[in-house]
Amino acid sequence: MATTTTAPVVTHKDAHQTNTGISNNKLAMWLFLGTECLLFGGLISTYLLYKTRGNGRTLPTDIFDIPFTSVSSFVLLMSSLTMVLALSAINRGEVERSRAWLLTTAMLGGVFVGGQVYEFTTFVREGVGFTTNPASSAFYTLTGFHGVHVSIGILLLMSLVVASVQGKLKQSNAETVEIIGLYWHFVDIVWIFIFTVIYLIPAE
Amino acid sequence: MSDNVTDVETETAPDDDHHPSDLQYVKIALVLGLITAVEVFTYFESVLDWGDALIPSLLVMMVVKFWLVARMFMHLKQDKPILSGLFITGLGMAVAVYIVALLAFQFWN
């Protein structure tokens, strides 16, 4: 009674299939982003509560440089475009083009972080340090946390670029690019919120 | 057996074909850039005085930008609804919790 069994053909894609039809890594990233909403929500609410508490000293809102921050915001927004173009290229198997877009995204992120460092330096020169008043503490904590997120994103992007140069990033790894892209876009939409609520809406 | 395999393949088929083209992404980015430009113009009161419409307008533009990036760049439009559910749950909880917190601290008084 010999029985013939046919072994299922397991491809790379099949190895990661789940009963939701979504890979665990992607699901975990979305879950993580959902929790990040709570983190940034707390930081933004704290700033809103403290933004007028200057203890008689200069408030961050008094020295905002809106034209400068607008350029930074535009740069971060365009980095979302280059990120999605990197994903689009790797999905088509165009590894070199994808690498170029990933590098561009990391560079735009670097310009944004550089702008933030310049802004912080200017604020400190104007006498608004981290412990100057509750408003400045809340402002630095919120924007600093965001800056750290962007910096982590740059490191993740550069790791993809390095993997690409070493020939380890192929079309089959498109999901890795997509997951890091999700993180990057999230950092962008958090800034969309911060730019409007913290910078553009008048303090009074 | 073969039916089951077909079901799995159909269920987990990649949906990359439905993603926007590069040109569509560029068009979305242009719209985002345009909205940002309008937002920045609100800062210069000498250009146009928005009056009481300023804050609602800024909030609407912010939501549109947020929605465009999440739907198109993060592919929530094409991906499975469970992902939108996860994100909206986190976002909704954050908004609800912190609105209550701001109310408790009499932020709007």
Does residue A93 carry a pLDDT above 90? Answer: yes
- Number of structural domains (chain A) is 1
Q: DSSP labels for A137-164?
A: HHHHHHHHHHHHHHHHHHHHHHHHHHHH
Question: Taking CB atoms and an 8 Å cutoff, what residues of chain A touch B75?
Answer: 178
Question: Taking CB atoms and an 8 Å cutoff, what residues of chain A touch B86?
Answer: 27, 30-31, 33-34
Question: Taking CB atoms and an 8 Å cutoff, what residues of chain A touch B29?
Answer: 77-78, 80-81
Q: What are the distances in angstroms from CA A35 to CA A31, A32, A179, B94?
A: 6, 5, 16, 9
CA distance B42 to chain A (A): 8
pLDDT tens, position by position, A173-201: 999 999 999 999 999 999 999 999 999 98
Name residues whose C-beta falls within 8 Å of residue A118's C-beta, 6 or more positions apart in sequence. Answer: A68
Whether A5 is covered by a domain: the verdict is no
Q: Position A194: which residue type?
A: I
Q: DSSP labels for chain B?
A: -HHHHHHHHHHT---GGGSPPHHHHHHHHHHHHHHHHHHHHHH-TTT---GGGHHHHHHHHHHHHHHHIIIIIS-TTTS-HHHHHHHHHHHHHHHHHHHHHHHHTTTT-
> What is the rounded distance in angstroms from the CA atom of residue A66 to the CA atom of residue A57?
21
> What is the rounded distance in angstroms from the CA atom of residue A141 to the CA atom of residue A43?
7
Cβ contact A34–B70 (<8 Å): no
Whether A11 is covered by a domain: the verdict is no
Partner residue opposite B98 with nearest CB, options A13, A45, A192: A45
> What is the rounded distance in angstroms from the CA atom of residue B54 to the CA atom of residue A62?
19
Rounded (10°) CA dihedral A103, A31, A186, A111: -40
Does residue B58 carry a pLDDT above 70? Answer: yes
Whether A73 is covered by a domain: the verdict is yes
Q: At what angle do helices A134-165 and A174-194 cross, to 10 degrees?
A: 160
Closest CA to A133 of A38, A63, A65: A63
Cβ contact A77–B80 (<8 Å): no
Q: Which residue of B has its CA nearest to A195?
A: B62
Q: DSSP labels for A85-97?
A: HHHHHHHTT-HHH
Say which range, A46-55, A109-118, A140-149, has the weakest mean pLDDT: A46-55
Q: Which residue of B has its CA nearest to A16?
A: B12
Q: Phi/psi class of residue A56: alpha, beta or left (left: φ > 0; alpha: ψ in -120 to 50)? A: left
Half-sphere exposure of B73 (CA within 13 A, CB side): 33
* Separation of first and last alpha carbons in chain B: 66
Question: Taking CB atoms and an 8 Å cutoff, what residues of chain A touch B74?
Answer: 181-182, 185-186
CA distance A84 to chain B (A): 6
Whether A31 is covered by a domain: the verdict is yes
> What is the rounded distance in angstroms from the CA atom of residue A142 to the CA atom of residue A71?
19
Domain that holds residue A168: 22-200
> What is the token pair recorded at A191?
């800034």
> What is the token pair recorded at A141?
């904590």
Structure ipTM over 0.95, yes or no = no
Average pLDDT, chain A: 90
Question: Taking CB atoms and an 8 Å cutoff, what residues of chain A touch B40?
Answer: 66-67, 70, 200
Q: Chains A and B: how many Cβ contacts under 8 Å?
A: 132
pLDDT tens, position by position, A1-31: 444 444 444 344 444 567 778 888 999 999 9
Residues A112 and A76 sit within 8 Å (Cβ to Cβ): yes
A-contacting residues of B 3-32, CB under 8 Å? 8, 11-12, 14, 16, 19, 21-22, 25-26, 28-29, 32
Does residue A169 carry a pLDDT above 60? Answer: yes
Task: Choose, out of A5, A37, A104, the residue to mutate when testing the contact with B (most B CBs < 10 Å).
Answer: A37
Whether A4 is covered by a domain: the verdict is no
Whether A9 is covered by a domain: the verdict is no
Cβ contact A49–B59 (<8 Å): no
User: Averaged over B65-78, what is the pLDDT?
Assistant: 92
Whether A15 is covered by a domain: the verdict is no
Q: Phi/psi class of residue A4: alpha, beta or left (left: φ > 0; alpha: ψ in -120 to 50)? A: beta
Q: What's A33's domain CATH number?
A: 1.20.120.80
> What is the rounded distance in angstroms from the CA atom of residue A101 to the CA atom of residue A103?
5
Does residue A146 carry a pLDDT above 90? Answer: yes
Whether A16 is covered by a domain: the verdict is no
